[in-house]
Amino acid sequence: MTSYELDGGILILRSGAHFSTEDLRRALDAAFEDPRFRRGMVLMFDNRGSRESAPTEEIALRIDILRSRLSRLSPYCAVVVDSSVHYGLARMGEAFAEKHGVRIRVFRDDIDAARAWLDECRGLTTPASRARREG
């Protein structure tokens, strides 16, 4: 099961222990129907709750779902994972997505870094301003 949250300009999808491609499709479509949703929001997929590993074909199908919704979403997507297996799978998805106009960046357990990257993508911060703030 996947739930969604709208946090400013970020659409956050959170996976449950069992996550399917259909869960992704349903969560995105539900978010699009939410009156708080705004066209062009960036996407954060918090996959830390998932305990399932998707085969390569499923990863490609999930990227295709994102690609088919780029008229509503920004092409930027942060993926946050909590295991080496999910990190590797998400990196594979990152490489596949790049060929299809979706820019994914994978983060290991660091939701703050994912949010900062999405803020940079939205033009709210720059790498230099973030370095000064953290420095």
pLDDT digits (tens, 9 = 90+) for 101-115: 899 999 999 999 999
In the chain, DSSP finds a helix count (H) and a strand count (E) of 5, 5
pLDDT digits (tens, 9 = 90+) for 4-37: 999 989 999 998 888 788 989 999 999 999 999 9
Domain count, the chain: 1
Phi, psi (degrees; rounded to nearest 5) at 28: -60, -45
What residue numbers bound the domain in which 15 lies? 2-134
pTM: 0.86
pLDDT digits (tens, 9 = 90+) for 45-74: 999 988 777 777 888 898 999 999 999 999
Check: CB of residue 27 under 8 Å from CB of residue 34. Answer: no
Indicate which CATH number applies to the domain containing 40: 3.30.750.24
- In this predicted structure, the answer to whether residue 133 has a pLDDT above a threshold of 70 is no
